[in-house]
Chain A
Amino acid sequence: MARDRHTLILMLIIPAFLLIMYGYALNFDVKHISLAVYDEDRSSTSRDFVGNFYRTEYFDLKLYLGSISEIDDLMDRGEVKAALVIPKGFSENLKAGKKASIQVLLDGSNSSSAHTAAGYVSAVVQNYSAKILTKTLMKRGLAPLQLPVDYRPRIWYNPELRSAKFLIPGLIAFILMVILVVSTAFAIVRERERGTMEQILVSPLKPFELVAGKTIPYIFISLISAHLVLLVGQLLFGVSIKGSYPWLLVVMFLFLTGGLGLGLLISTFARTQQVAFMMAIITTLLPTFILSGFIFPIRNMPVIIQVITYFFPAKYFLVALRNIILKGGGLSSFWDQILFLIGFGVLSISLATLRMKKIKEQGIQ
Chain B
Amino acid sequence: MDSIEVKNLTKKFGKFTAVDNVNFQVKEGEIFGFLGANGAGKSTTIRMLCALLTPSSGTALVGGYDIRIQPEEVKKHIGYMSQKFSLYEDLTVEENITFFGGVYGLTRTAIKKRMPWVLEMANLRGREQSLARELAAGWKQRLALGCAILHEPKIIFLDEPTGGVDPVSRRNFWELINYLSEKGVTVFVTTHYLDEAEYCNNIRLIHAGRLVGEGTPQELKKKYITNPILEVECEKVVEALEILQKERWVLETSIFGTRLHASVEDEENGRVQIKKVLSERNISVKRIERIVPSLEDVFIHQIEKQPEESARQ
Contacts and interface: CB of A to CB of B under 8 A. Distances in A.
A binds B: yes
A204 B13 contact: no
Interface in B53-84: 53-54, 72, 75-76, 78, 80, 82-84
A362 B13 contact: yes
Given A204-B75, A204-B104, A199 B86 contact: yes
A3 interface: yes
Contacts of A361: 53-54
Interface in A12-57: none
B89 A200 contact: no
Given A3-B90, A196-B86, A202 B80 contact: yes
Nearest to B131: A3
A205 B90 contact: no
Nearest to A209: B103
B170 to A, nearest CB: 20
Q: For this complex, into which size category does the number of interface residues on chain B fall?
A: 20 to 34
Nearest to B50: A202
Contacts of A141: none
A206 B105 CA distance: 12
Contacts of B84: 194-195, 198
A195 B47 CA distance: 13
B53 to A, nearest CB: 4
A204 B82 CA distance: 16
Contact of B54 (A195, A201, A360): A360
Contact of B52 (A3, A194, A202, A204): A202
A195 to B, nearest CB: 3
B173 interface: no
B243 to A, nearest CB: 42
B83 to A, nearest CB: 8
Of the listed residues A194, A198, A206, the one surrounded by the most CB atoms of chain B closer than 10 A to its CB is A198
A197 B82 CA distance: 11
A363 interface: yes
Nearest to A213: B103
Contacts of B72: 204, 206
A202 B51 CA distance: 7
Interface in B28-62: 44, 47, 50-54
B100 interface: yes
B24 interface: no
B299 interface: no
A200 B52 CA distance: 10
Contacts of A204: 72, 75-76, 103-105
A59 B307 CA distance: 87
B87 interface: yes
A203 B75 contact: yes
- Which size class do A's interface residues fall under? 10 to 19
Contacts of B131: 3
Given A198-B86, A199-B86, A360 B75 contact: no
Given A204-B76, A360-B54, A196 B13 contact: no
A117 B227 CA distance: 98
B89 A194 contact: yes
Interface string B187-223: 0000000000000000000000000000000000000
Contact of B53 (A3, A196, A197, A360): A360
A4 interface: yes
A362 B80 CA distance: 19
A206 B72 CA distance: 9
Contacts of B51: 202
Nearest to B44: A363
B52 A195 contact: no
Given A3-B90, A204-B72, A204-B76, A198 B52 contact: yes
Interface string B82-99: 111111111100000000
A194 B82 CA distance: 11
Nearest to B54: A361
Contacts of B44: 363
A53 B99 CA distance: 70
Nearest to B53: A363
Nearest to B159: A198
Nearest to A197: B86
A194 B86 contact: yes
Interface of A: 3-4, 194-206, 360-363
Given A203-B100, A360-B54, 15 more contacts: A3-B131, A194-B88, A195-B82, A195-B83, A196-B86, A198-B52, A198-B84, A200-B103, A204-B72, A204-B103, A204-B104, A360-B53, A363-B44, A363-B47, A363-B52
Interface of B: 13, 44, 47, 50-54, 72, 75-76, 78, 80, 82-91, 100, 103-105, 131, 147-148
25 contacts: A3-B91, A3-B131, A4-B90, A194-B86, A195-B82, A195-B83, A195-B84, A195-B86, A196-B88, A197-B86, A198-B86, A201-B52, A202-B80, A203-B103, A204-B75, A205-B103, A206-B72, A360-B52, A360-B54, A361-B53, A361-B54, A363-B44, A363-B47, A363-B52, A363-B53
Pairs of residues from A and B, 8 with the lowest C-beta to C-beta distance, nearest first: A195-B84, A195-B86, A199-B86, A202-B80, A363-B53, A3-B90, A196-B86, A203-B103
